Structure 1
């Protein structure tokens, strides 16, 4: 599967190559492709195997599934293994398609059917868009840090967050001390008060005092650097607004999937969207152990001649693995007052440590328990029900 051109190779059960078809990735070309396949196969039955890594073959897959053809999804890892099994490794579209066909022939009963749940695909696209905006904002904030340190050495003490509403308004109107010199604390207060109603005059006077203590930071071409600061502020503000818009769309579409993951403490909108995006239809996993293996959270047996041990898996869906790892950290965290955020998970974590596991291993145990809980919530589409201990009298 490619963005512009698809390549298909037809083989029989003895791996004889019967034909090769190249066609454009346009829905208008799909009927002709099917007819070409019929001409090659004749009266024989045939099955389609699609290796689609970037979604370029989604339209073709939907077309074939909609017309009741047998369509299987071929994992690119299987295709790569077939390609590397050749003594002389080479790669082109024709040979890649032949490798896909070989995998299809050998694993036709084990390969999953190609399914297209538009809601999960759409959520995934929204999540990708949100992640891109967040990544761009991190880059812009880092660049803004670098620019402000030259003009305002004490800028970190001005505001709690560099990208807060008050901070962005300040950087936009006063990108360098030169602009502060031409105004008064009262004028700055009036400017920021429109953005932050809770702002105090004393805070503005403190900022003026810090700027004075920094000394003279003026340099040549200050006007050009001021332009950079203002441009960064506009980009950050625009990204923040777009992230909010994406969140609105996620708020609207996620309930349509039927999952209620946000009822579990520690899972916000972004985390729920990422979980649904990576897991998709929960029914493709027969149990929670399969889901754990999918994300590489289950140990893998490495042995030979009857000797070996279970070792940590470093494969699988690493994005999903990271989500459960950080979620487990939140569940066992302790607040500043020394009170656990989630006593049940904290107790389970401490129990595993007492049993002899180190903290990273105990954290994996917590993550595995979270997998079981979230799997059950998604499978039954129910809300989170916290575990409550009984006193044993009932």
Structure 2
């Protein structure tokens, strides 16, 4: 929590909805100063700011404002941004926090049999702040918001690609059943969603056409579509023809609709990839000049470029908001619930995933890249991969991400570049 004097702080809780902001304000001794509702628009925000300012002026023993609200989709963004930059409130050092709703929901359980209404929700949020339970960082303004919107949109686009690939699996199996099932050395293409595979699946109407095509024509076609990047085109042609012979046959009336559907899916995937490239360029442009030390530090780790670094920085913000790597891991949801009773200690434990999903994504992607470049992380991943018979990659990557969190925290706290040397096992920031 911030180093503030709680005795002289006004704690403001805001229950945010799309249409209104219900507000409850109290001091450390639970004396009520404000209980009202305002429209969730610019006039309502101005009215609330004036009321908070008047309250601070009327009570000179209060000199700091802590405003807390739940992170409610996009509805909390405007009010948080307005209050944190409102000129009339700046003399009172306003700190604005957007909280994980799960934290306040768990805090509410301490108030037995309390009804659930908007005014009581605002009271719970204000009391949560008064109790000093806020562990996240304050709202950081428009510049970080701009970066966060880009990095989060990039995740949205990658999820769109994943969804599209998952969706097209059924059409792919119907048209070319064997190709979709093959793996390893029997698979003609290293990437079934790549350009060469896409051309085969959309320009040849059916597997029978591939069987009937001359070897010379098929070799020329694959060489052209792959831009001669396939080292052994003859083997690829052989595997492709075998897959075509082993695939189910369909009525001719089905092939054209399947082709149209597959072509549309491939076009969507290509479009999403182009948009991700554009977003990557925008992220790289936006991150420059924002916290250059943190960017330089993270980029010093082999495998971390500006996009992954920007995603981590956008979600972490000021590393001093976290007193340890454990706190940072908890914020990202990279923690595991323990299942123990008496002498029983469960071997399988589930990741809680109750934290910041965007930060968890970028830490995971970054860790996956780092383990390909840094021997220490490659060995650690391999060790964890071999420890279990199922979910090997998922488990190993999650644990590697947790190890990566310690590296990120240590480097940012110590403000030092990565040299390949191991940092201290743990490093804590002194808190008040």
TM > 0.5: yes
Q: How has the CA–CA distance of structure 1 residues 346 and 207 changed in structure 2, closer, same or farther, with 3 Å as cutoff?
A: closer
The answer to whether the aligner puts 1:52 opposite 2:56 as a matched pair is no
The answer to whether the aligner puts 1:91 opposite 2:116 as a matched pair is yes
Name the TM-score, length of structure 1 as normaliser: 0.72
Mark the runs of 5 or more structure 1 residues left unpaired by the alignment: 303-308, 334-339, 351-358, 389-394
* Matching residue within 267, 275, 294 for 2:312: 275
The answer to whether the aligner puts 1:148 opposite 2:172 as a matched pair is yes
d(CA) in 2 for partners of 1:232, 1:361: 30
Q: How has the CA–CA distance of structure 1 residues 245 and 8 changed in structure 2, closer, same or farther, with 3 Å as cutoff?
A: same
Alpha-carbon contact 2:171-2:262 (below 8 Å) kept: yes
d(CA) in 1 for partners of 2:266, 2:338: 52
* Secondary structure, aligned partner of 1:107: coil
* Secondary structure, aligned partner of 1:383: coil
d(CA) in 1 for partners of 2:395, 2:188: 41
Partner of 1:9: 24
* Secondary structure, aligned partner of 1:154: helix
Partner of 2:298: 261
Partner of 1:232: 265
1:168-218 CA-partner distances (Å, limit 9, x unpaired): 222232253366588655555555544422157634465345424546333
* Secondary structure, aligned partner of 2:67: strand
Alpha-carbon contact 2:22-2:38 (below 8 Å) kept: yes
d(CA) in 1 for partners of 2:379, 2:214: 52
Q: How does 1:1-394 map to 2 (within 5 A)?
A: 1-11=16-26, 15=30, 17-37=32-52, 43-44=58-59, 45=62, 47-53=65-71, 54-66=73-85, 67=87, 68=90, 69=92, 70-73=94-97, 75=99, 76-77=101-102, 79-107=104-132, 114-156=138-180, 157-177=187-207, 180=210, 192-198=222-228, 199=230, 202=234, 203-204=236-237, 206-214=239-247, 216-218=249-251, 220-256=253-289, 257-258=291-292, 259=295, 260-267=297-304, 271-288=308-325, 290-292=327-329, 294-295=331-332, 314=352, 317=355, 319=357, 342-343=375-376, 346=379, 370-379=404-413, 381-387=415-421
d(CA) in 2 for partners of 1:213, 1:347: 41
d(CA) in 2 for partners of 1:133, 1:344: 28
How far has the Cα of 1:294 moved from its partner? 4.1
RMSD, matched Cα: 4.5
d(CA) in 2 for partners of 1:133, 1:262: 23
Q: How has the CA–CA distance of structure 1 residues 280 and 185 changed in structure 2, closer, same or farther, with 3 Å as cutoff?
A: farther
